[in-house]
Amino acid sequence: MSTLITNIGELLTQDREQAVLKDAAVVFEGERISWIGAASDAPAADERVDAGGRAGLPGWVDSHTHLVFAGDRTAEFEARMAGEVYAAGGIAVTTNATRAASDYDLTRLLLGRVAEANAGGTTYLETKTGYGLDVGHEARSARIAAGVVDEVTYLGAHLVPAGVDPEDYVRLVCGPMLDAVRPFVTWADVFCERGAFTAEQSREILRTCRDSGLGLRVHGNQLGHGEGVQLAVEFGAASVDHVNHLTGADLDALAGTWSGWDPGSGSGVRGTVATCLPACDLSTRQPLAPGRELLDAGVEIALASNCNPGTSYTTSMAYCVTTAVLQMRLSVHEAVRAATFGGALALHRETGVDDDGLRAVGSLAVGHRADLQLLNAPAATHLAYRPGVPLTHAVWKQGARIV
């Protein structure tokens, strides 16, 4: 089954050339893109969709979420808005509710959040464990997530549960808990932050998870200057996320990881992506991550929702893009790239065509996965020009229309 989407007023491909095509068309063949070019040159297809001059771009790639949870933290949010300083301890509230929920309810809640994200143009999702915090509940969260989302990250190292010795808990995270989640996860993460895990504890967790074959990510430098960025660089992590508080040495270290990367051709050695989470920054009233400075230093960045019940209860990647433009000083095209190609880069999914079936996401090119969204606007600039307006008109994921 082939589908031609034609009369696209502006198409942001986010491919290696970062081409912006006018009066464009795209053809899907099954789950893959088989043709891109001028609408006047488009081949015939089994189905024809007229985009009506609307803008098209890749589906959002949300590379940092916490979607497997139950419960509510409205009271915590209200307290924070009243001036209370955010600290990591609120995670325990969600842990209690998540442990008490049935498999059915956790799955139902997860499916609802994924559907909400899809409706806003997100076509590729990572999510983490981290609200179980014991062997059985972490394994359950990983299993449920693996049946719904695209990528699952092990975050047993989210918080030390109350009443548990921190060193005993680190041993649990590195031993029985890791063994239990391993069949369901691709990545491991650690919250290296005051109130969570120290640098030495984080180093042990990252080393053990790396040796087990998992890719690495780090929550770092969210609540203040810390060692998260340096640890991510030391271990060659795929991403370090939050990055609100960076020193010049942190910027230099991240930039150094990209010295062997050619952004034009996409060739060379990937570095550590700096994932900015602007919706979380606004909710916690932290300084916004320095996206402009990171880009200017040569660091590849991603934008992600960080959807979670405590600090960023949104699945809207468009909101993150808008915030990045209006408050982080990114251009619209830079923000869209960070929310598509950047997320794919953070998940090591920016490459791959038909050979292995793991087609690239986050960009539009022949052989890549057929993930596309149309905006109810003539240009992507409207994402920031009309903030807060729901602009998603249609969404295709793996060649099938889902919105």
Q: Mapped to the 3 state alphabet, what secondary structure does the chain carry?
A: CEEEEEEEEEEECCCCCCCEEEEEEEEEECCEEEEEEEHHHCCCCCEEEECCCCEEEECEEECCCCCCCCCCCHHHHHHHHCCCCCCHHHHHHHHHHHHHCCHHHHHHHHHHHHHHHHHCCEEEEEEECCCCCCHHHHHHHHHHHHCCCCEEEEEEECCCCCCCCHHHHHHHHHCHHHHHHHHHCCEEEEEECCCCECHHHHHHHHHHHHHCCCEEEEEECCCCCCCHHHHHHHCCCCEEEECCCCCHHHHHHHHHCCCCEECCCCEECCCCEEEECHHHHHHHCCCCCCHHHHHHCCCCEEECCCCECCCECCCCHHHHHHHHHHHHCCCHHHHHHHHCHHHHHHCCCCCCCCCCCCCCCCCCCCCCECCEEEECCCCCCHHHHCCCCCCEEEEEECCEECC
Q: What is the pLDDT of residue 316?
A: 98
Q: Name 290's Cβ contacts closer than 8 Å, sequence gap at least 6.
A: 243, 246, 328
Q: What is the pLDDT of residue 264?
A: 77
* Residue boundaries of the structural domains of the chain: 2-59+357-401, 60-330
Q: What is the pLDDT of residue 341?
A: 97
Instruction: Write the CATH number of the domain with boundaries 60-330.
Output: 3.20.20.140
Q: Using CB atoms within 10 A of its CB, is residue 355 exposed (0-12), middle (13-18) or buried (19+)? A: exposed
Instruction: Write the CATH number of the domain with boundaries 2-59+357-401.
Output: 2.30.40.10
* pLDDT in 10s for each residue of the chain, 403 residues: 999 999 999 999 999 889 999 999 999 999 999 999 999 999 999 999 999 999 999 999 999 999 999 999 998 888 888 888 876 567 888 999 999 999 999 999 999 999 999 999 999 999 999 999 999 999 999 999 999 999 999 999 999 999 999 999 999 999 999 999 999 999 999 999 988 999 999 999 999 999 999 999 999 999 999 999 999 999 999 999 999 999 999 999 999 999 999 887 778 889 999 999 999 999 999 999 999 999 999 999 999 999 999 999 999 999 999 999 999 999 999 999 999 999 999 999 999 865 556 899 999 999 999 999 999 999 999 999 999 999 999 999 999 999 9
